[in-house]
Structure 1
Amino acid sequence: MKRHAGFTYAEQGQTERPYPAPMTDRWPDGYRLVLRKEELKVDEARAGFLRLASGLLDWDLHRRAGLAVAPGTPRAAPGVEMASGVGFRRLRYWAPCRVIWAAEAVLDDAGAPVPGQRSGFGYGTLPGHPECGEEGFYAELDEDGGLYFRIAAYSRPGNRLVAAANPVNVRVQQFYTTRYFAAAYALASGS
């Protein structure tokens, strides 16, 4: 795996898992691991997949989860730097990341998504982020046409202060993970 300069951790690229690569193995040691998958039951799974995939890559998932996204952040693509923020105006804390990989939806000749794919991206933490690690966001359309949203993340506290408040930090991560799943359903359903 190619190492990229500027990241706050050494094990980059572990969230890149094209369909049907398993999500349950090959994670780096010494990190807190979050693996979560839910089926999104929407009227038209293929259309929902396209909405979700686009919403992931355009940072709409983050916005709908209640995070601010730095103005002018381009669509997720390898090398794109982004910062998501919590708080209000001057009291907002920005957490910088860089996209490591991104996968656009694969379409057939008629413009419909091909079953058996994952679209999304993974980004890693940069200096100034309270965590060290990586997170992947996936829209998945399985071979049977089922639509799923997945998150895979591995992280550890980025400094002593975050480590001292780790129980609070874990709850904040759980809070936003839950919000990501609600936002994914809203995106997929078009609501």
Structure 2
Amino acid sequence: MPFTYEPVGATREHLTACPPGFHPLHVRTRIGEGERVFRRAAEALLTWEMHRAMGVGIDATADRAAPDVDVTVSLAGLVKAPCRIVWTAEEPRRAGWAYGTLEGHPECGEEAFVVDRTGDGTVWLTVAAFSRPAKWYARAAGPAGRGFQHVYARRCGSVLRKLCAGEEEQ
């Protein structure tokens, strides 16, 4: 099944990239500090644990994010959103992935989830996306739909912070 947008993979190098005709999203949340926090956050992100801890349904063709893995995200059992992983990163100070929308998703675009550890040891989660409505109900939601995306991205950060609690190096 082909992606429903171009340019596929645009979030890989530029988390703030937003092609014309799409709405941008960029939310950065401090998770904690230290190598242990980074490793814990990366693992929770790459294995869908963060999403599942949020109560989001994840039906994936693999236990870990990897290119070409198909993922269907479901919210409250009502909305099913088919996606495919377009890129992943597992580096010493950066880990994450992005998925792109497939036919049947209420939106059209790409969303990235990246954990990084800065030079001072601070661990951050960045949720970045570009999207536009694809279904009638997403168009009808208008600005409220974009507001929901921001709330969702902020919740990702708060849930990941809780999953990493207790990992701070003393």
Q: TM-score, normalised by structure 2?
A: 0.88
CA contact (8 A) 1:50 1:105 kept: no
For residues 40 and 160 of structure 1, the distance between their equivalents in structure 2, rounded to whole angstroms, comes to 36
SS in structure 2 opposite 1:83? strand
Say whether residues 1:64 and 2:50 are aligned partners. Answer: no
Shift of 1:168: 3.2
User: Which among 4, 7, 11 is matched to residue 3 of structure 2?
Assistant: 7
SS in structure 2 opposite 1:38? strand
For residues 175 and 145 of structure 1, the distance between their equivalents in structure 2, rounded to whole angstroms, comes to 26
For residues 181 and 170 of structure 1, the distance between their equivalents in structure 2, rounded to whole angstroms, comes to 17
For residues 190 and 99 of structure 1, the distance between their equivalents in structure 2, rounded to whole angstroms, comes to 30
CA contact (8 A) 2:25 2:150 kept: no
* Equivalent runs, 1:47-58 vs 2, <5 Å: 47-58=36-47
CA contact (8 A) 1:53 1:105 kept: no
For residues 23 and 128 of structure 1, the distance between their equivalents in structure 2, rounded to whole angstroms, comes to 25
For residues 29 and 157 of structure 2, the distance between their equivalents in structure 1, rounded to whole angstroms, comes to 8
For residues 23 and 161 of structure 1, the distance between their equivalents in structure 2, rounded to whole angstroms, comes to 27
Partner of 2:29: 38
SS in structure 2 opposite 1:173? helix
Give 1:176's aligned amino acid. Answer: Y
CA contact (8 A) 2:15 2:129 kept: no
Give 1:188's aligned amino acid. Answer: C
Q: Give the gaps of 5 or more residues in structure 1.
A: 107-116
Which protein has the bigger strand share? 2
Say whether residues 1:81 and 2:70 are aligned partners. Answer: yes
Say whether residues 1:121 and 2:107 are aligned partners. Answer: no
Deviations along 1:133-183, one digit per CA (max 9) or x if unpaired, are 001001101122121111111100013332122233223222311211111
- Size of the aligned set, in residue pairs, is 167
For residues 189 and 70 of structure 1, the distance between their equivalents in structure 2, rounded to whole angstroms, comes to 26
SS in structure 1 opposite 2:120? coil
Q: TM-score, normalised by structure 1?
A: 0.79
For residues 66 and 115 of structure 2, the distance between their equivalents in structure 1, rounded to whole angstroms, comes to 15
For residues 39 and 182 of structure 1, the distance between their equivalents in structure 2, rounded to whole angstroms, comes to 9
Aligned-pair identity in percent equals 35
For residues 147 and 85 of structure 1, the distance between their equivalents in structure 2, rounded to whole angstroms, comes to 28
For residues 166 and 127 of structure 2, the distance between their equivalents in structure 1, rounded to whole angstroms, comes to 20
Moved more, 181-190 or 142-151: 181-190
